[in-house]
A = this chain, B = another copy of it.
Amino acid sequence: MMNIHPLFWLVPVASVVALTMAWYFFRSMMKTDEGTPRMKEIALYVRKGAMAYLKQQYKVVFIVFIVLAILFSFMAYVLHVQNPWVPFAFLTGGFFSGLAGFFGMKTATYASGRTANAARKSLDGGLKVAFRSGAVMGLVVVGLGLLDIAIWFLLLNAFYTDEKTALITITTTMLTFGMGASTQALFARVGGGIYTKAADVGADIVGKVEADIPEDDPRNPATIADNVGDNVGDVAGMGADLYESYCGSILSTAALGATAFISSSYDMQMRAVIAPMAIAAVGIFLSLIGIFLVRTKEGASMRSLLKSLSLGTNVSAVLIAVAAFVILWSLGMENWIGLSFSVITGLAAGVIIGQATEYYTSHSYKPTKDISAAGQTGAATVIIKGIGTGMISTCIPVLTIGIAIILSYLCANGFELELEAASISHGLYGIGIAAVGMLSTLGITLATDAYGPIADNAGGNAEMSELGEEVRHRTDALDALGNTTAATGKGFAIGSAALTALALLASYIEEVKIAMKEAGQTIVNVSGQVVNAADATIPDFMNHFQVNLMNPRVLVGAFIGAMAAFLFCGLTMEAVGRAAQKMVVEVRRQFREIAGILEGKATPDYGRCVEISTRAAQHEMIVPSVLAIIIPIATGLILGVAGVLGLLLGGLCAGFTLAVFMANSGGAWDNAKKNVEEGNFGGKGSFAHKATIVGDTVGDPFKDTSGPSLNILIKLMSMVSIVMAGLTVAWSLL
């Protein structure tokens, strides 16, 4: 029936191993003690709030999915401008992504109380519970991702057996399940981001600035909402984001592989399609090795904790670099050495962007220290300095991605940059492979990411349960460790989004060619001859659609793409602003109306604040999310294929840079405040401290709402364009 390369079977095996290990980590976390009744109570509040929110989010998402599925079905079965599998692929992508978010968050909300309890005994006990629980998220994401890929690959291989173009059809069809994952991720990031920052900003403004009570103080009515927010935004949101990058990079690379090797044998094509999957599968085993390496002796120092955490990720990265050679060699790939170097390029880019992010956002370095110093002259100079720093910090990540693009292209293309028809698709395949390389050890990198909010929440639990100075000190240490890993993780999420979006951009061209073939359209190639769309090379394609930089469609598309990134950011910023204002009004009301609240004699109405965040997120996520879906569709219908390519390029360049700026400004403000709190420039309660708190508050939506949501935007716009290719080809205005 089919002729699948045996190495493919690594994929389902790795998937099952990942899910089994996730289950094992979850069970062992659940067996640990949850602590005092007060701790259990706090954890329950947070868990209930998080689940209640997730339910509301899934309601909105469900409606959107139904609408889109109907639209896709109409396009597939009535207009016949789309592959009949798309509606189903779309739904499974969304379903698995949602499932990953659900499991991850469930684990996180069970784990944070237990982390606080473990920290009562020892620092490394706390680390272990928090990190292993973070690993559940990491493993569930990669496990479910590969599971979905494996199922569809097997299913479609059973249906399409026409050797010549089967793999192209299969891989481009599978790509559309990325659209489901993208849509789910969009709502998770935007909704979660608005939720968490409405609560956080609201809690900070009234709590820290006006009432002068510390973070996570149980007297603050918004504190539970704030802790719930960490889970829905930083756990579920981040997970869905990376689930999408993970699947998107693997699937788009597979699609590029099927095209690049079309003139080789079917067998070689199959190897090229399986290569990204196999690298990802081996990455899971290596991530597990890394996860098990994260262990410490009793009474380990902070420095050694950080060391053991980076040991885990570094060992996984080095191993996958070595493994890439072995995998590509045993697959018998043409140019396996070059492609292995493409993998290494991606890995190295991820590491460099992570390091640059740390430099610009950690208060061990000059940029963030300077922001703290600016606090001496007030909030305005803190903001000016922070924005300046964030904008300057875009330089290294952009140059790194630029160099990675060129190197991975060159390595995959025999060190030749010329765009001969045949070789260009090999180069693009190399860019895709670099993205896969960057994401191959996602199992452990996401674990260190998800660890952050768990530790943060553990701190919140410890504070609210009044566990005493020493425990709080330990959870603070775990939290600080989490902040470092979170910054690196963010750089990583952005970098992988850029490379993935680029691979998707290339896949879009393939999708258009298939849609043209289905519609019986032909292409005028570079020699002026009319050829079958499926046989057209990339230069032919560019010539046919006049995709050059002097085509007004491309220019206008690029302008709209850049604007879309700003518009989307602006809408999410405003959403947080509005929601936070509501929260402030409510917290002030409670402080005013509930007698004895500030003396700790009366319990605040936590539920009311949770409700405000939930409603605001549910309500505010709709406009930006729907716009992100509509803009590429409208551009396609008005400006055609050339306009869409301009849009994707403009959106990618501006969106990536904007995302780095916002994430880094936000991170730097956060740590500038921490730097002052550590006693510099007057320490807690000083003029500089108040000024840096304003910076931190502004930075919250920068780094946790708008910035990360842009990752999704740049991928989603490509995904929507891919799914809509049939419609664009069938009709466009200009």
What 0/1 pattern do residues 523 to 561 of A give for CB contact below 8 A with B? Answer: 000111000000000110011001111111111101111
Q: A539-B548, A560-B398 are in contact. Are A392 and B567 (CB under 8 A)?
A: yes
In angstroms, Cα B374 to Cα A392, docked, is 29
Identify which of A6-14, A181-189, A344-352, A380-388 touches chain B: A380-388
> Who on chain B is nearest to A565 by CB?
B657
Chain B CB within 8 A of A228 CB: no
Report if A436 contacts B (CB, 8 A). Answer: no
Do A380 and B558 touch across chains, with their CB atoms under 8 A apart?
Answer: no
Q: Does A581 contact B (CB under 8 A)?
A: yes
Report copies per complex: 2
Q: Given A205-B378, A698-B380, A701-B384, does the pair A571, B392 have CB atoms closer than 8 Å?
A: yes
Residue A645 CB within 8 A of the other chain: yes
Chain A 459-481 interface residues, beta-carbon cutoff 8 Å to B: none
Binds B, one of A23-31, A74-82, A646-654: A646-654
Q: How far apart sit A653 and B646, CA to CA, in the bound complex (Å)?
A: 11
Is A734 engaged at the interface, CB distance under 8 Å to the other chain?
Answer: yes
- A405 adjacent to chain B (CB < 8 Å): yes
- The yes or no answer to A401 lying at the interface (CB within 8 A) is yes
Q: Please, what's the 1-or-0 string for A368-398, where 1 marks a CB less than 8 Å from any CB in chain B? A: 0000001011111101110111111111001
Q: Give the segment of A170-178, A304-312, A318-326, A572-580 that binds chain B.
A: A572-580
Q: In the complex, what's the smallest C-beta–C-beta distance from A37 to chain B, in angstroms?
A: 36
Does A70 interact with chain B (Cβ within 8 Å)?
A: no
Residues of B within 8 A of A661 (CB): 566, 570
Q: Are A384 and B657 in contact (CB under 8 A)?
A: no
Question: Which residues of chain B come closer than 8 Å to A376, judged between CB atoms?
Answer: 581
Q: Which of B391, B502, B542, B561 is in CB contact (< 8 Å) with A569?
A: B391
Bound Cα distance from A383 to B201, whole angstroms: 12
Cβ of A422 within 8 Å of any chain B Cβ, yes or no, is no
Asked whether any CB of chain B lies closer than 8 Å to the CB of A606, the reply is no
Provide the main secondary structure of the chain A interface.
helix
Fill in one digit per residue for A397-429: 1 if any B CB lies within 8 Å of its CB, else 0: 011011001100100000001110000100110
Interface string of A485-511 (1 = CB under 8 A from B): 000000000000000001001100100
Chain B residues whose C-beta falls within 8 Å of the C-beta of A658 in the assembled complex:
566
Distance (whole angstroms) from the CB of A142 to the closest CB of chain B: 28
Q: Are B555 and A405 in contact (CB under 8 A)?
A: yes
A residues sitting closer than 8 Å to B (CB atoms) are: 201, 204-205, 209, 374, 376-381, 383-385, 387-395, 398-399, 401-402, 405-406, 409, 417-419, 424, 427-428, 431, 502, 505-506, 509, 526-528, 538-539, 542-543, 546-556, 558-563, 565-567, 569-574, 576-577, 580-581, 584-585, 645-646, 649-650, 653-654, 656-658, 661, 694, 697-698, 701, 734
Pull 11 A–B residue pairs with CB atoms less than 8 Å apart, ordered by A: A205-B380, A378-B584, A388-B572, A388-B577, A398-B559, A419-B546, A419-B548, A428-B550, A562-B562, A650-B653, A654-B654
